[in-house]
């Protein structure tokens, strides 16, 4: 009986973490985009693959 109680409490604790709150990633989708327009912005601002690597590594 003691094991069942402990298991039940642990199960409730674990399931309480499965929340669809406002910061939940469930249902997350990226907005539709236009690749050509995005590419034009990168070219216009002078962003190169090397610039992106520097930004990611900093």
Q: What angle do CA 18, 19, 25 make, to 5 degrees?
A: 95
Kindly indicate the confidence band of residue 7, based on its pLDDT and cuts at 50, 70 and 90. confident
8 Å CB contact between 22 and 28? no
Q: For residue range 10-52, list pLDDT tens digits in order.
A: 888 887 766 666 666 667 777 788 989 988 988 898 888 888 7
57: pLDDT strictly greater than 70? yes
CA gap 6, 24 in Å, rounded: 28
Rg (CA), the chain: 23
Residue whose pair of structure tokens reads 């090397």 in the numeric block: 50
Domain boundaries, the chain: 34-58
Q: DSSP assignment, residue 22?
A: T
Q: Comparing C-alpha atoms, which of 4, 26, 27 is closest to residue 17? A: 26
């Amino acid at each position: 009986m003691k094991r069942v109680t402990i298991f039940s409490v642990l199960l409730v604790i674990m399931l309480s973490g499965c929340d669809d709150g406002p910061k939940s990633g469930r249902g997350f989708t990226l907005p539709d985009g236009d690749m050509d327009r995005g590419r034009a912005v990168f070219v216009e601002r002078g962003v190169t693959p090397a610039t992106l690597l520097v930004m990611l590594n900093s």
